Structure formats: C-alpha cells, structure tokens
Structure 1
Amino acid sequence: MSPIRVDDLHRIFKNLDKNNSGQVSVQELLHLLDKIGIHTTLEELEKFVGRTSLDYIDFLFFYEAMVKARMAEEEEGHDQSCDNNENDLLKAFKVFDLNGDGHISCDELQSVLSRLGLWDKRSGKDCKDMIRVYDENSDGVLDFEEFKNMMSVPAPISDPEI
C-alpha cells in the first residue's frame, strides 16, 4: 500500500461522509475497503477501529495504522522469502556436501559439477581456484556461509577456461 497524500485522504473522507456529519461510519469504511480489495468483516473492523464511526482525525490515524500493518505484512513476507531462500541454499549445499561433513571439498565440487555436465574432467583442472575465491578462512573447503557468499556474489573472472 503506497502512502496517499493528506489532500487525497481529506477528499476520500469527504466522499465517504455522505451526510456531511463529519463522521464516517465503520460500515462506510468497510464498503471502501472492500472496493479496494481489502476484505474483512464488520466485526473485525469495529474491533480494529474501536468505535462505530470516525471523525477526520480518527480516519487519518486509521489510515496510518493500515499502512503500518500492511508494511509489517510485506516485511514479514520478505522475511519468509529470505528464510525460504536460505533453506533452498542449504538444500543445494547438501547436494554438494557428498560426505555430509559440513564442508564442500574440491573433489566434491568437481564430482557434482561433472555429474551436472558443468565440468569437463579431461581439462586437467580442479576446483581449487573456484574454492579459493570464496574460502574466507583459507581451510581449502567451503562451509555453508562461504557457499552462501559464493551463490550470492558474482565470481571474479580469473581464468576464462574454468
């Protein structure tokens, strides 16, 4: 939900206030929300609003609360998306970690890439250079954090034949 200018909010309030009482009923608000695709029940809306009608100031507070709630939902969705991405990376890591020791060795990387048709064993090269680029602690293998970095950062070009 993108923010709406105060002038537009005032115009919306005036259009909702059909009888010019300076109040908008929860039923009128419910009708507006339904029109814009936010579906809720009258009971839920009354509970959220805490009264049966709103004056203009209450209407502004209601709008602000709706925007914050929507932003929190979007952020939560983003967090879940990040969690899903991390789970996907963990599954991929486990595919490469053939012996399950929590590290990807040069032999494991080369074996999986070969099975996928992404490595030519006849080239005489090994995966040490690929691992070395992302091996932050210089232990010769990739742990999960190093693997995540490798999967999220474009590799520097060191040898066009690899």
Structure 2
Amino acid sequence: MITFPCLTTPRPKPLPAPAPLIGPSGPKDDKGLKDVFDHLDVDKDGKISSSELTDYFASVGESVSHKVAERVINEFDSDGDELLDFGDFEKLMKQEESKEVEDVLRSAFEMFEVEKGCGCITPKGLQQMLRQLGDVKSHDECVAMIRPFDLDGNGFLDFHEFQQMMSPT
C-alpha cells in the first residue's frame, strides 16, 4: 500500500491543511477535507487525476512519479474511471489518518515496554513509566490496571490489546 504523509501533515504551502477526520468525539466536519480536494482538483471537474496529483506533489517539493500516482488512484477509484472523486479521496485520507493514529499508538506502546522490542507491556513496565511521569503505583495496582484490557489473560498487554484500550469506543 502506498502512503503520502505530506497529504496529512500540515505544510507551510498554499494547500490548506486537512482537518483530522477522526477525533475524540467522532467524525469531523468534511469542510477542511473538501477544501484540500478542491485545491487538488485544478480543472474543477470534481475529480482528481494522476496528473493533478503529481503536479501537486511537485508544487510542494515532493517527487512522485506518474506511475505511482496512477497506482494510488487505481487503488481507491471506486467507479473505474481512473480518477478520484470526493468519496474516493475521503477513503484515501481516512486510511492515511488511520495509519498516523497507529504510528502514534505504536510509539506510545513502545514507551511502556520494559524490554524494548518484547512486544508487551508488563505491570513492571507500566509501573516504571507511571513513576517517571510522577504517578507512583504499586505493582498490584498496575496489575489491576492491565487486567480489564488483557484479552488473552496472560498478564501483559500486547499491541492489539493496547490499541483496544486506547480506542475511544
């Protein structure tokens, strides 16, 4: 899968930064996303072509080949016209947003790993990180904090369990 971080990362360029699609309270207003779409749709036909996509990236100093732009468009094009309409663009941006959220969660998860790369948060790791943050908890309190989210009952949180714990739903 191809990702374009510069589509979701605000830049000091003429393109308005897209509003986050998903926030703590649910889906956000599509106005910011529509503004981005309209900016990319240079010929104002209601669709983004691979040429418009490559031209945009060139305008912000990114090099994206026409072939790569075509692959991205084909991956999200729902009607087979080799163009992105707003609905297709919205799917692309939601996927980008989802990837960003996962990257942030992965970084947070790694902070709590006692043994870096072990793939789990232990009560000891939770206790150490909370202590560093100024919140002193006993080992038993940390066990109790992990228990409701420990889906497989092994006493630790793997990344999937951590994602579930951090999910707003």
Aligned positions, number: 97
Which 5+ residue runs of structure 2 have no aligned equivalent? 1-37, 52-80
Indicate if the aligned counterparts of 2:149 and 2:164 stay in contact, CA closer than 8 A: yes
Distance 1:125 1:138, change over 3 A: closer
Residue 131 of structure 2 is aligned to residue 114 of structure 1 = yes
Displacement of 1:78 in angstroms is: 0.7
1:8-157 matched pairs, under 5 angstroms: 38-40=41-43, 69-100=85-116, 101-117=118-134, 119-121=135-137, 125-153=140-168
Higher helix share: 1
Segments of 5+ residues of structure 1 without an aligned counterpart are: 1-35, 48-64, 155-162
Contact 2:109 2:159 in 1 (8 A): yes
Pick closer, same or farther for the CA change 1:143–1:78 going to 2, 3 Å.
Answer: same
Larger Rg: 1
In 2: Cα distance, 1:114 partner to 1:83 partner = 30
Matching residue's letter, 2:111: V
Shift of 1:125: 4.8
- Quote the offset at 1:124 in angstroms: 7.5
Q: What's 2:25 paired with? A: none
Q: Could you tell me the percent identity over the aligned residues?
A: 30
Q: Deviations over 1:18-43 (max 9, x none)?
A: xxxxxxxxxxxxxxxxxx7642399x
The alignment's TM-score, normalised by the length of structure 2, stands at 0.49
CA RMSD of aligned residues (A): 3.2
Q: Write the deviation string for residues 102-127 of structure 1: whole angstroms up to 9, x where unpaired.
A: 1100010011011112x224x68530
Secondary structure of 1:126 counterpart: helix
TM superposition score normalised by structure 1: 0.51
